[in-house]
Amino acid sequence: MIRQAFMVLMAVFTGLATVFAAETSPKPRYHSPSGRYELVFETLPDDWTHHHSATRGVSKETVDLYAIMLYPKGALEPVNAIYYADIPPAPSPEKLLQAMIWSPDEHYVVLPDKWTAREGNHIFQMVAPLDKHKVWSLQADHLTWIDDHRFVGDLNTAEVPGGIMQFDAKTAKAELLVPADNSIGYQIAAIKDHRVTIKGFVNKAGDGKTTWENFVPSCFDLDLDTLKKRSVLCPGDAANNGRLAP
């Protein structure tokens, strides 16, 4: 099964190389923050374009606009490729490059997907390793890498009305660390090392409270290694004993 998947990927790369070899002028190569990797944005021909159906309340119909080829610096063969889908026209390579979030050691890169087509607070991300032909798709917002292979982010959709997720690229595992409570959601307020400060907010998704005007947000720290929680002052609120104005 693994061999078959590898052969399919190799066929895709070979086919792309044949199509793009016909172009007369070489594409510009963009660079990762450290310069270790180079990126080439290939505009996909019509016969390579794949259409993605719309999902009501999640995303509009999209098409593949770019094949983003990832190369080690100076290499002729890519180590991976990301297919970016959205509603035409395609955003500029510079805009997508600025939106990329690289892990500290540049073993992984995150690229937002379906930028224009998103609906209902659904924020799509693609995670690409720089050592194998693989791309993971997931949902998360306000991403922050906490070490070389893990990042955390917010979720705030109808399905998860305020929660904190973590993705571990080493194990390819996404998990919801902090789910929403009845009518109370949670969002990232600050991050330091392996500790994230989380703040509650009214998501109005349930009926757990009746006097929303008296709701006072509170914060707690979550240790991402032990998953232990500790009540803390909300950032910037030391003068008010941890209580923020509604």
- Say how many C-beta atoms besides its own lie within 10 A of residue 151's C-beta: 22
pLDDT in tens, 165-196: 999 999 999 999 999 988 899 999 999 999 99
Q: For residue 208, what pLDDT is reported?
A: 59
pLDDT in tens, 69-127: 999 999 999 999 999 999 999 999 999 999 999 999 999 999 999 999 999 999 999 99
- With residues binned 3-state (H G I as helix, E B as strand, rest as coil), the percentages for the chain, rounded to 5, are 15, 40, 45
The full DSSP string for 113-127 is E-TTTB-TT--EEEE
H or E segment to which residue 99 belongs: helix 93-99
